[in-house]
Chain A
Amino acid sequence: MATTTDPLLEEIQGPTPGQLLRRRVFGHHGLMIGGGLVALLVVVAILAPVLAPHDPYAQSLLERLQPPVFLGGSWEHPLGTDHLGRDYLSRLIYGARVSLMIGVIAALISGLIGTAMGVAAGYFGGRVDMVVTFLINVRLAMPVVLVALAVVAIFGGSLQVVIIVLGLLLWDRFAVVMRASTLQVRGREYVAAARAIGCSTPRIVLTEIMPNIVNNLIVVVTLEMAHAILLEAALSFLGLGVQPPTPSWGLMVSEGKQMMLFEPWLVMIPGIVLFLLVLAINLMGDGLRDVTAPENRS
C-alpha cells in the first residue's frame, strides 16, 4: 500500500491509528514533561564522564564544604563541594547512573518474575492461581524496607546486592496486574481460535496474550522503577544500601545530614534531583497509561 498525501483522501479515511497515537502522546503534557525529564537524565547518566567537571571520587581537603554558586561559591564547583572536598555536581551526575541502573535492572528482574507468575496464574487458573495468589499475599505481608535492610546487611552492601534484593522483592505489583490483565484477555475469541488451530501454550501466551497486555506491563515497569529508585535511596540513606564512596543520591543526603545545621544545601540538592527523577518517571507512567488506554482518561 502506497502512502498517500492527497488531502481529500486523508479526510475521507480519517487519521490512522498511528497518527491518533502520536497526537495523544504529544498532546499529553504530563507524558511530555515526565518523558522529557527522564530522557534528559538518561543522557546525563550516559555522558557522565564527558559532562562531569571533576572526578566524582577526587578528594581535596583544602576545598571542603565550598558553597554552591547561588550561595556565593565559585564556578569552579558550581554546586559546591562535600565534606571531603569532592565536587558535588560531578557526584550528582554520576549518581544518576546509580539510580537509573538500579531502577532499570531491579524493574527488569522483578518484571520477569512477576509477569511469569501473573500470566501463569491468569492463564492456567485453578491450583496455579491459588499458589501464585498465596505467594503474592506472603510477599505483601513482609515489610519491604526491613527485609531488604536485613538481607543487604547479611550479604554486604554493594550495588549488585542492592539491585538483586530489590529485584527479588518488588515483583508483587507485576504479578497482581499481569494476573488481572491475563484473566481479562484469556476468554477472548482470538485466544480460543489460536487454541482451536492447535497452537502450543507458549505460543498462545507469547503471541496472543502478551501483546494485548503489554501496555499494562509498561505502566507497572515505570511505577516499579520509581519504587526501586526510592527504596535504594532510603537503604543507602540508612547506611545499609550502596556503600561510600559510591555517589548514590541517598548516600549523599545521608552524608549531608551531619552538616545539615550549617549547610542545608548539602541535603537539599541531591534530594531535589531524586524527587524530580521519581516525579518524572511517575508522570511518564501515568501518561503512558492515559495514552494507551484512552477510555480510562479522566
Chain B
Amino acid sequence: MIKFILKRLGLALLVALTVSAISFSLLFMSGDPAAAIAGETASGEDIEAIRRIYGFDRPVLVQYWEWLLGALQGNFGESYYFKLPVADLIAERLSITMTLGVCGITFALVTAVPLGVAAAMRPNSLIDRAALLLSVMGQAMPSFWFGLILIVIFSIQLGLLPPSGSSTPIHFIMPTIVLGYYAMPAIMRLTRAGMLEVLSSDYIRTARAKGASEVRVMFRHALRNAIIPVVSLAAVQMGFMLGGSIVVESIFALHGAGYLAWESIGRNDLPTVQALILVFSGFYIVFTFLADVLNAWLDPRMRTA
C-alpha cells in the first residue's frame, strides 16, 4: 500500500511539474512580454528597461526555475493589471470557487445517487427512463445557456433568486445547480451500472434469501459496494468542475477564481493566468490522487495497477 502511494505520488508530482512548464511557456507564446507590459505607446528604451526589471533578458530556463521556486513558496509574481501579488488575488477569490465546487458536487451526488439507485431497482421502468432522459439532456445542455434560462425563469419572471453576486447563500443556489448538473449524468450512470452489477451477485441473493428487507438489501448490502467507484468519480468530477467554474462564475458574476481567470485573460494579465492554470490543475491532481488512494485502500486489487 505504501509502495502504491509513493508511486502514485511521484506520478502526481511529475504531472504537476509538466503542467507548470506548459503554463510557464504561455508567457513566450504571447510574443514579447516586456512590450505587453509597457503598453502600445512605450518607447524602445522603456521596453528595454522593463525587460531588465522583470528579468525577461535572462535565459528561459533560469526564469522558469525562479518562477517555479517562487510558485512552490506561494509566490506567483505580480499581476500586470492590479500590480498586486498574484497569490493574494487568488487567495482572496478561491473561497468562493471552493464553496461553489463543494456545493456543486454535493448537489450532483444528492440527486444522481438516489436516481441511479432507483433506476437500477427497476430497469426499463418509468423512473429508469426519466433518469436516462435527465442524464442525456444534462450531457447536451450548454452550461452557459442553462444558467441564462435559470436567470430568465427565477430572477426575471418569478423574481425569486438574485441573478448575480455572492453576498448570501441564496446567491449560490443557481450556480450550484448549473455546475452540479454538469457532473450529474456521469455519476448517475455509474451508480446505476454499479448497482445493476452488484444486485445480480450471489451475496445479494443470500441477503434476500435470509429474509432481509428490500431497503436493507439496497442500502446495507448493494449501495455500499456500488458506491466505491462513484466516490472516486466524484473526486475526479470535482477537479473538472473547479476548472469549469470559469463559465458558471462569469454567468452569475460570482467573483471567484474562475471569474478572475476570465478577467485576467481578457486583460492579458499572464502571471495571474499562469498561476490560475497551475492552481486549477493542482486541485485536479490532488483530487485524482486522493481518489486513487481511496480506491486502493478500499479495494486491494487496484494496488497493482
Contacts and interface: CB of A to CB of B under 8 A. Distances in A.
A195 B265 CA distance: 52
Contacts of A278: 139-140, 142
B145 A271 contact: yes
A252 to B, nearest CB: 11
Contact of B148 (A233, A260, A283): A260
A234 B142 contact: yes
B14 interface: yes
A257 to B, nearest CB: 6
A146 B246 contact: yes
Nearest to B137: A279
Given A153-B265, A153-B268, A238 B142 contact: no
A230 B276 contact: no
Interface string B14-43: 111011001000100110000000000000
Interface in B140-162: 140-145, 148-149, 151-152, 156
A279 B247 CA distance: 20
Nearest to A281: B140
Interface stretch (A45-53, A77-85, A132-140): A132-140
A253 B273 CA distance: 26
A224 B115 CA distance: 26
B262 A150 contact: no
B142 A250 contact: yes
A142 B22 contact: yes
A264 B280 contact: no
A238 B247 CA distance: 7
A239 B266 contact: yes
A58 interface: no
A225 interface: no
A149 B246 contact: yes
A268 B277 contact: no
A142 B144 CA distance: 21
B136 interface: yes
Interface string A111-139: 00000000000000000000000100110
A49 B226 CA distance: 53
Interface string A239-275: 1100000000010010001001100100110010011
Contact of B156 (A137, A151, A237, A260): A260
A145 B136 contact: no
A138 B11 CA distance: 10
A144 interface: yes
A248 to B, nearest CB: 12
Interface in A159-194: none
Contact of A275 (B140, B244, B250): B140
A282 B142 contact: no
Nearest to A226: B140
B243 interface: yes
B106 to A, nearest CB: 21
A138 B145 contact: no
B80 to A, nearest CB: 14
B140 A282 contact: yes
A154 B30 contact: yes
B284 interface: yes
Contacts of B141: 275
Nearest to B145: A271
A150 B276 CA distance: 11
Contacts of A261: 156
Contacts of A238: 144, 246-247, 250, 262
Interface in B222-265: 242-244, 246-247, 250, 261-262, 265
B152 A260 contact: yes
A233 B26 contact: no
B243 A145 contact: yes
Interface in A273-290: 274-276, 278-279, 282-283, 286
